[in-house]
Amino acid sequence: MRMFLPAGFAVLLAAGAAGWLPAGVPMEAGKLALEDKSELTYTIALPRDGKDMKRPMPLIVSLHYGWRGERPARYGEGLVRQLIQPAFARLHAVIAAPDCPGNSWTEPRSEEAVLALVRSLRERYPIDPRRVALKRVMDMNDR
């Protein structure tokens, strides 16, 4: 899988150079109450075309890379704005970037929070259940 990473970034750069990247995609902050009484914060990007909100859409859940020290709020927003949304703009997808509620995405609490977010978004938006994707961007420090 690692050998495809440079090619993927090359495609993204080419997409930007070709003018495929939409300008000013609105991002919204969200909070979801979890079963353990904590909150999951997240950033969401919705398709800009209002008519897309009436037909089934893909859902892309983007998990951010690791951090050092205290994680800033809406940590995944920059990743969505700069990489994920431009790469998948033509899909007219709902893109959600949750903030990791624990120390790692591999913790059971974090996994449960992501599943709760997917369930919540499927209730609020016309998500096509056959087109739900999870995208995790990692760096050298990730666990």
How far apart are the C-alpha atoms of 76 and 50, rounded to whole Å?
A: 24
Note if the pTM is more than 0.75: no
First to last CA, the chain: 17
In the structure, what pLDDT confidence band is assigned to residue 28 with cuts at 50, 70 and 90?
A: confident
Render pLDDT for 42-61 as a digit per residue (tens, 0 to 9): 989 888 665 557 789 999 99
pLDDT of residue 18: 39
SS3 80: helix
56-95 pLDDT tens trace: 999 999 987 656 567 666 767 777 887 788 888 888 889 9
